Amino acid sequence: MAPDTVEKTPVTLLGLGAMGAALARAWLAAGHPLTVWNRTPARAAAISAEGATVANSAAEAVAANTLVVVCLLDDASVEEVLAGADLAGRDLVNLTTGTPAQARARADWARERGARYLDGGIMAVPPMIGVPDAGGYVFYSGSRELFERHRETLAVPAGTTYVGRDAGFAALHDVALLSAMYGMFAGAAHAFALIRREDIDPASLAPLLADWLVAMAPTVHQTADQLRSGDYTKGVVSNLAMQVAGTPTFLRTAAEQGVSPELLSPYFELMRRRLAEGSGEEDLTGVIDLLAH
């Protein structure tokens, strides 16, 4: 059979917000029959004009196809939207952002209703959806069989990364990566604040900052290696004692520049606590144990 005549898996999609609409357009563009429902009908009407079938209710949309994808605001809206739907025999893929515990509870909830369940954490913003080179992907966890069955269809909007049978793992990976991102944003905010009142163009700092962050990013591999071995002195380049000794310079510079240290101080405090435990020869990895006590 020629590739363009292969029947594409029909998809039901609940939720047509910014992300849902992007997902819908990607599946339509790839030739998947699509049934949609959205609480605010005007959003569904726009997607209907592009080829989707609009259901009159979430229950009707769920009844239309085996593969049901939900991309709603939060876990509470998933509960509300699916409350009246018959999920028996459905393959439920939940791309709504939530916590690991919510994902695990939702997987149990789906199983009790006769559905197979896969949870997803989207590592992309809407403009990256349906653009293969944009680098966006989705973490999936839960039923491996379900993931394999729909792998091709799920790969249409963005790349797929399956992270385990534990339904909570997609959310956990999602939140872990986004948490690291916020740490990076916090560091960048402090850096820009330091130069804010000087005759330095932020646009000249930006490329230096970006290159430095990229250069430092691979240190996470050494951190992982140390965590696995339990030896936090392995491969140390700049030990904790030296780094703690340098922290007053950062705090004094912040004070000189009239910048609040509130983003940096909590991390420095953890470094000092770890040093006080006699870990001066270690890397910064010991901070992780103080957090995950």
Write each residue from 49 to 88 as x if it is in contact with ligand FVH (CB under 6 A), else as -, in one continuous string.
----------------------xxxx--x--xx-------
Region binding ligand FVH by CB under 6 A among candidate stretches 33-41, 151-159, 190-198, 204-212: 33-41
DSSP string, the chain: --GGGSPPPPEEEE--SHHHHHHHHHHHHTT--EEEE-SSHHHHHHHHTTTPEEPSSHHHHHHH-SEEEE--SSHHHHHHHHTTS--TT-EEEE-S---HHHHHHHHHHHHHTT-EEEEEEEES-GGGTT-GGG--EEEEEE-HHHHHHHHHHHTTTSEEEE--SSTTHHHHHHHHHHHHHHHHHHHHHHHHHHHTTSS--HHHHHHHHHHHHHHHTTHHHHHHHHHHHS-TTTT-SS-HHHHHHHHHHHHHHHHHTT---TTTHHHHHHHHHHHHTT-TTS-TTHHHHHHT-
Give the one residue of 122, 191, 194, 284 binding ligand FVH; rule: CB under 6 A: 122
Give the one residue of 15, 142, 157, 286 binding ligand FVH; rule: CB under 6 A: 15
Give the one residue of 19, 28, 87, 115 binding ligand FVH; rule: CB under 6 A: 19
Region binding ligand FVH by CB under 6 A among candidate stretches 18-26, 139-147, 229-237, 245-253: 18-26
Closest CB to ligand FVH among residues 46, 205: 46
Closest CB to ligand FVH among residues 126, 164: 126
What is the smallest separation between the CB atom of 236 and ligand FVH, expressed in angstroms? 36
Write each residue from 129 to 148 as x if it is in contact with ligand FVH (CB under 6 A), else as -, in one continuous string.
--------------------
What is the smallest separation between the CB atom of 93 and ligand FVH, expressed in angstroms? 13
Check residue 20 for interaction with ligand FVH (CB under 6 A). yes
- Binding residues for ligand FVH, rule: CB under 6 A, are 15-20, 38-40, 43, 71-74, 77, 80-81, 96-97, 122, 125-126
